[in-house]
Each structure stands twice: as structure tokens, then as C-alpha cells.
Structure 1
Amino acid sequence: MSSSVKPVCSGLLRNYDFRLLLSGAAVSQVGAQVTVVALPLVAVVELDASPMEVGLLTAAETAAFLLVGLPAGAWVDRMRRLPLLIRTDVVRAVTMLSLPLAAWAGALTMAQLYVAALVTGVATVFFDIAHQSYLPGLLPREQLVAGNGALETARSSAQVAGPGLGGALVQLLGAPIALLADAIGYLVSALFLRGIRAREPQPAPVTGVPLRAQVAEGLVFVLRHPILRMIACATGIANFFSAMLMSVQTVFLVRELDLPPAVLGLMLSASAVGGLAGALCAGTLARTVGQARVIWLSPVVTGPFALLWPLAGHGTAAVWFAVASAAVFFGAVVYNVAQVSFRQLLCPDALLGRMNATLRFMVWGTMPLGALLGGAVASAAGPRAAVWVCAAGFLFVPLPLLLSPLRRLRDLPAPAAEGRAVSGT
């Protein structure tokens, strides 16, 4: 087993273009994770936002997946993906830079935070769809799982460092100034991506096919597939309650547990520590347990740890929040590496953008709804009650997977045999 892994890993390290893609992802993720801490703190500390206003801000960050997620996939399939990645990084950098500039001028408002979150979200929709669709053209098929694992490792590493760095920057410089790290991260990412030497062919021009027909192709591909359909349901449930948690966790940790920004950043890093461990273990677990089995087993084993979130209290009892986050996000990353790799192997290249966009629409489109519910519950019953609802919700994540053909498979079927393998289930 180890002998087969080493050539794949060494091949990835020798691939100059993949190293640039990986470096860009790592740098931009550090900045984005600083913003996970800094942006809600700007609202809570600088602008004295209510729980409902913080929920609206979280909803604005993810609303783009619901608003433009489906047509974005068709547009991505009509474009070369690398230039699109660079342009969206620049848009996000300029948008985030506007926030500290407005703060310095004394003109920062909640309205500007909402607009910045929405614009950044739209750019992120296009970036994420293009990024997942670009990787299969950059790496050979046998390196896709290792490539996704490396990207998840970089992302999780950034999530370990980012919240702690964000909390420290907020403590030292103030929340608006900390947002500069995000703008710089996106600009550096764009520079790394510009250095990639591989050139994509221009997609064949689409003539006589309306956009809605192309969008429908992606929808049909996902909805008719018994495994993809259930993956979408499970991930949508997980993201709904994750967004609910994101919308209330800053209010919960600051106003209920009285944590200062630096400690809050370290607390939020716990989820990334679990995610990093999951990224490092994902390949081994998939080979040992089975790539199909690990998709449903990971949320079954780690989901119940979410019940520790609302049990967190003052002082050392706050550690339960960190333990729960580390365990839940360990399982989430193992799950993501396995199911994303399967999706990329399964789908024809010409349909990758629309398939990824359809999945993103279905699974990320639940996030603004979860964020709004989190703000509403926290406003009506308090932040701790909202965290209890989040924790209970995570127990339902594995149900669609357990009702799918995955439960009877050890490994996922090869694309060529996939239709025969699942048609009788």
C-alpha cells in the first residue's frame, strides 16, 4: 500500500503547476480564515450588531450560492477556468480592502458589510466552481484523490493558523485592520495562479443552446444519480446547521462565555485542527475502510460530538466547544475528500462546471437559510438555545447516506461500471 502512495505524492510535488495552485489556495485561505474571526467581530464589537444582524451578515456571505449558483456552472463551462480564478481573486481582494479603508474614514456601516459579504460571495461561487473543475485537467486521474487531499491539507492548515492569527490581529490592531490580511491573501493567490504554465484549450463555442438548457443538464445529471443525489442531501443538511453555528458562534463565545478576541480565535482554530487531521488521514481511511464506506461512516462516528457545543461554559468548560469542533470537522473533511474525488472522476469534463455548480447550489444554498434561522433563534431564545438546535441537527446528516446505495458498497464503482453497479439498487 505504501509503495503505491509514494509515487503519487512525489508526482504531485514534482508538478510545478500544482504546487502553484496549492500555494495560492493556502495563502488565500489564511486570509479568509482571518476574516472568519474579524468580520463578525467588526459587526459585534465595532458596530454593536444584534444577533439577527450577525445572522444576516452570515447569510449575505453565502446567499450567492443560492442566487447565482446554478447559472454560474454553465458560465464556467463556457470559459477557460484559470483566467476566471485570477479575476475572482482580484475582485475579492478589492472588496475586502474597501472595509478597512471605510473604517479609517469613519464611514463603515452594517450596510457596507452586507454588500462586501455579498460581492465576495458571488466571486467565491465562480472561484470554487472553477477551482474544482480545473483540477481534473491539471492532474491525471490517478492523482485526483491525492490532489484533493493536498488541497484539503493546505486549507485545513490555513484554518488552524488563520483564526488564531485573526484573533491576535483583532486584539492588537482592531477588527477592521485585520481584514487587510484577507485582501493581501487574495492578491498573493492571484499572483501564484498567474505563474501556472499549463494552458487550457478554449472551450468549444456553444451555439443554439440556451443557458437554461445547459443548466438543466447539470441538474439532471445530479438528480438522476442515486449516489450524488443523496450526497447532496447529506451535505445540504450539514451546511445548513454549519451556517447556523457560524451565525451565532461569535455572539455565543463573546457574550455568553466572555472570551476575548485572541482566545476566540484559538477556539475557532480547533475545528481546523480536526480538519487538518482529517485531511492527513483521509486517504489512509479511504483505503482501509473503503472509499464508499468512509463517506457515510465519518459523519456517523463524529456527528454526535456536536452535542458538546452547547455544554461549553465559562473558564475551562469552554474547552468542550473546541473538542466538539475538532471532532465534527475531522469527519467533515474525511467525507469531503472522498465524495469530491468521486464526483470529479465520475463526471465528463464538459459537464464538470455544471455538475459542481448544481451540487454547490444544492448544498451551499441551504447556508443563508441556516444563518437566518440561527440569528432568529438566538434573538428569540438566546445564543445557547441556537447552538443546541445546531448540535441536534448534525445528528441527521448521515441519514440520506444510510438510505443510499453507499451503505451496501465498500468502494465506489469505477466510472465505466458505475451505471451498472447502481442501476439495480
Structure 2
Amino acid sequence: MTNQLMDRLPRLLHQVAFRRFWTAQTISFLGDQVSTIALPLTAVLALNASAAGMGFLGALVSLPNLLFALHVGGFVDRHGRLRRTMILCDLGRAAVLLTVPVAYALDALTLIHLWVVAFVTGTLAMLFNVSSNSLFAALVDREDYVQGTSLSRGSFSFSWVVGPSVGGVLVQIVSAPGALLADVLSFLGSASLLRSISPQEPAPEKQKSSSHIRDGLRFVSRNPVLRARFVGGGLLNLFYTVYFTLFLLFIARELKLTSGMIGVALGLGAVGALLGSFVTGWFTRRLGIGPTFLLGSVLFPGALALVPFATQDKWVAFGLVVMAEFVSGMGLMLCDIAGSSIQQALTPDRMRSRVQGAYLGLINGVRTVGALAAGGLGTWLGLRTALWLAVIGGVLSCLPLVFAPVPGMRTLPDQAE
């Protein structure tokens, strides 16, 4: 029976090293999704944070990408030790998150404490992701990039299904700060699995830090596909951050959804993301890798328009949130898997960390701006109007892809020089 089950698994999961790497990612993703609910709900429910306070909290999570990602990409390419770096990041995040429930139990938790935790965990997550991107390429052959990325993003989608639901239930049972203990355990489990593998890592390239950063930026700026991915992705991240920063506040305060309803709605909606990770391969074979990337870039933000339509009828609001998250999650997987596979195919091994560092710095770094803008827009225009602006801007962010070679790209491109 065990052999029959193994035969049915994707080819990559027959490889012990990749299977443990993938499992470590899955466990870490699951804990992250609990924190995605628990950390902002701690600010809202335990500390009564305002829209501006929530915006600042979201900004501090992504600020490290803006400040450090380019330098971290060069550092990782120069020094290597990818697996060891990822383990240290896991242990560091576990230790920092543990301080929240401890401070809450001692009646010493403050919003400033949450801001510090958000900044530190954001820094470690950025370093983990840069290293993980290069380690992935060391474990997966080029012809398996789409399958490997689908598995990785599929586990991320699975965490969306289970994590918010578990997080919402834990918030109701043990409070929002107590729910963060699940994330602490997930990071410890991820670190343990990563310790059990010994992949052949790419040799570090000894160059000056400034040269590494300059080379990574030059490579991205000169490639029209990567340039369009970065510009379009930056705009999409900007507007989605505005949306998500205000989303929990909107459905908790204006739509009056309970913590449990929020967790279940996000969890059920994330089934779409799980489905998207399974069907992306089918879409890329039928439509091509480029059109799939473009389709996902429109579906992901466009479906979120259902949320500002919601009324204060709890069950109508619940249904619209589920529908929005389902279709949006599916679009996210089409966009993310196809886009990440294109980036992996175009990028030479020696530049993977630099390009990923540039991606995190120039793309995810705009989340800092988006979170701060969300605080202002939510205060000045109201939550519903700000959500509408975010959705419209997110849909229009696909335009750089339309005017690049992406729509005509049927298969993975050759590696760029």
C-alpha cells in the first residue's frame, strides 16, 4: 500500500531531500497563516488599534524588504550556507513571536511591542525567502520548475485553507496572542526538517557587495520580461497591501463578522488557491505560460471587488468574502506559479539570490508604502471607498505585462545572459 501511494505522488516528492524541504516550507507556511490572522487581531481586539496603527503594523512587516533585500541578496550569493541561514531564521522567528503571548500574560503587551515583532519577523522572513529561492533551484531540475513551484505554492495554498480557520478558532479559544504559539511550533518543526537534509548548494561567488547589487539590478532592468514582472508585481503588491491592510478592519468592524467567521471565510475561500495550484499546469499547457501569468494577474485582484459590495447582513457578507477569496486565491496561484517559474528559468544560478533580493526589495518593499497609504486612505475616505480604489488599481497593474513579450510566451524561456 505504501509503495502504491508513493507511485502516485509527483516525481519530485520521491526525492527525500526535496520532500523534507517542501514539508518544512508547508509547516512554516501554516504557522504564518495563523499569524496573519492572530497578529493583526491582537492589535484590533487586545489593543484596540486604529486604522493608522494597523497601517503602521503592516508597514513594519514589509519595511525590511525595502531596507535590506538588495544587500541580503548579494550577501547570500557571496557567503552561501543557505540551509543554515534558513534554520537560524526559523529559530529567530520562533523566539521573537514567543514574546507576544508572554507579554500578554504579564499584562505588558503594547502596540509598540507588536511593531517591533512585526519588523524583526519581517526581516527574518525576507532572509529566509531569499535563501529558500536559491536552495529550491539546487534541489529541482529545470524541467521540473513548474511542478516544483506548484508543489511549493500548493502547500502555501493549503496553509491558506487550514491556517486562517485554525487561527480564528484559536483566537476565540486562547485569545489572539495565545494563537501565535502555533506559529512558534511551526518554525521549530521547519528548522528540525531542514537540519535533516544536506543538499549540494551552489558555490558562493566572491565579489564586492556593491558589485553584486549593481549586477542584479542591471540584469533585471535589461530583461523586458523580468522588468515587466517587477513593475507589474510592484503595482499589484502596492494596491493589494492597501486592500488587505484595511480588509480585516472592514469585515470585523463594519460587517461585524466574528473572529471565527473571519477565519472560516478566509479558510474556505483559500480552497480556490489550493485548486489553482493544482490546475496551473493544465492552464500552462493549454494557454501557455505567459497567458496563464497574465490571466492570474487579472483574476487575483479583480475578484476582490465582491468585498466592497457586501452589506451588513452577516451571512451575505460571509458569502461574498468566501467567493472573493476563492476566485482571488485561484488567480494568485496562476499568477504566482507562472511568474515564479518564468523568473527561475530566466535567471542564471550565480544570480538567483541577487534577483530574488531585488524582487523582494523592489516589489515587496512597496508594501511599506501601501500599508502607510492604507492608514491614510482608510481614515480620510472611509474603509469601503479605500477598498474600491485598491481593487481598481490592482486590476490595472497588469498593463506592464500586456506591453511586454509575456502574452505570446507559450513555454518557459531560455536562461538569459
C-alpha change, 1:75 and 1:32, in structure 2 (3 Å) is: same
Letter of the 1:316 partner, please give it. W
Which runs of 4 or more aligned residues in structure 1 lie more than 4 Å from their structure 2 counterparts after TM superposition? 6-9
**1: CA distance between counterparts of 2:8 and 2:119?**
39
Residues 80 and 201 in structure 1, CA contact (< 8 A), matched pair in contact too: no
Whether 1:342 and 2:337 are equivalent positions in the alignment is no
Residues 345 and 413 in structure 2, CA contact (< 8 A), matched pair in contact too: no
Aligned to 1:174: 175
How do 1:157-236 residues align onto structure 2 when only pairs under 5 Å count? 157-200=158-201, 202-204=203-205, 206=206, 209-236=207-234
Residues 77 and 354 in structure 2, CA contact (< 8 A), matched pair in contact too: yes
Q: Which moves more between the two structures, 120-129 or 341-350? A: 341-350
Q: Structure 1 residue 202: deviation in Å?
A: 5.0
TM-score (norm 2): 0.94
Letter of the 2:297 partner, please give it. P
Q: Report the count of equivalent residues.
A: 409
How do 1:35-114 residues align onto structure 2 when only pairs under 5 Å count? 35-78=35-78, 79-114=80-115
Residues 234 and 366 in structure 2, CA contact (< 8 A), matched pair in contact too: yes
Aligned to 1:143: 144
Letter of the 2:367 partner, please give it. M
How do 1:28-39 residues align onto structure 2 when only pairs under 5 Å count? 28-39=28-39
Q: Which moves more between the two structures, 36-45 or 372-381? A: 372-381
Aligned to 1:317: 316
Q: Which moves more between the two structures, 297-306 or 345-354? A: 297-306
| Alignment gaps of 5+ in structure 2 | 1-5
Residues 96 and 117 in structure 2, CA contact (< 8 A), matched pair in contact too: yes
In structure 2, the residue corresponding to 1:132 is in which secondary structure? helix
Whether 1:241 and 2:242 are equivalent positions in the alignment is no
In structure 1, the residue corresponding to 2:307 is in which secondary structure? helix
**1: CA distance between counterparts of 2:163 and 2:323?**
18
1:128-171 alpha-carbon deviations (Å, 9 max, x no partner): 11111111111221112111100111110011100010000001
**2: CA distance between counterparts of 1:292 and 1:247?**
30
C-alpha change, 1:8 and 1:413, in structure 2 (3 Å) is: farther
Aligned to 1:134: 135
Aligned to 1:422: none
Q: Structure 1 residue 313: deviation in Å?
A: 2.0
**2: CA distance between counterparts of 1:361 and 1:48?**
31
**2: CA distance between counterparts of 1:112 and 1:132?**
30
Aligned to 1:353: 353
Residues 135 and 201 in structure 2, CA contact (< 8 A), matched pair in contact too: no
**2: CA distance between counterparts of 1:300 and 1:382?**
25
Letter of the 1:317 partner, please give it. V
Aligned to 1:116: 117
TM-score (norm 1): 0.93
1:305-358 alpha-carbon deviations (Å, 9 max, x no partner): 222120112222212122122212211211111111121122111111001111
Letter of the 2:101 partner, please give it. P
In structure 2, the residue corresponding to 1:395 is in which secondary structure? helix
Residues 240 and 301 in structure 2, CA contact (< 8 A), matched pair in contact too: no
C-alpha change, 1:229 and 1:201, in structure 2 (3 Å) is: closer
Q: Structure 1 residue 268: deviation in Å?
A: 2.1
Residues 8 and 143 in structure 1, CA contact (< 8 A), matched pair in contact too: no
1:255-276 alpha-carbon deviations (Å, 9 max, x no partner): 1011110101112224422211
| Alignment gaps of 5+ in structure 1 | 1-5, 420-425
1:33-78 alpha-carbon deviations (Å, 9 max, x no partner): 0111111111111001101101110111111111101101001112
Whether 1:284 and 2:282 are equivalent positions in the alignment is yes
Q: Structure 1 residue 254: deviation in Å?
A: 0.9
Q: Structure 1 residue 363: deviation in Å?
A: 1.1
C-alpha change, 1:335 and 1:9, in structure 2 (3 Å) is: farther
Residues 311 and 321 in structure 1, CA contact (< 8 A), matched pair in contact too: no
C-alpha change, 1:46 and 1:222, in structure 2 (3 Å) is: same
1:189-240 alpha-carbon deviations (Å, 9 max, x no partner): 0001101132436525x2xx43111101000000110000001111111111
Q: Structure 1 residue 409: deviation in Å?
A: 3.0
1:99-118 alpha-carbon deviations (Å, 9 max, x no partner): 11111111110111000000
**2: CA distance between counterparts of 1:84 and 1:302?**
32
Q: Structure 1 residue 376: deviation in Å?
A: 1.1
Aligned to 1:20: 20
Q: Structure 1 residue 7: deviation in Å?
A: 9.1
Letter of the 2:160 partner, please give it. Q
Q: Structure 1 residue 301: deviation in Å?
A: 4.6
C-alpha change, 1:214 and 1:398, in structure 2 (3 Å) is: same
**2: CA distance between counterparts of 1:334 and 1:8?**
24
C-alpha change, 1:19 and 1:362, in structure 2 (3 Å) is: same
**1: CA distance between counterparts of 2:103 and 2:140?**
42
Letter of the 1:293 partner, please give it. P
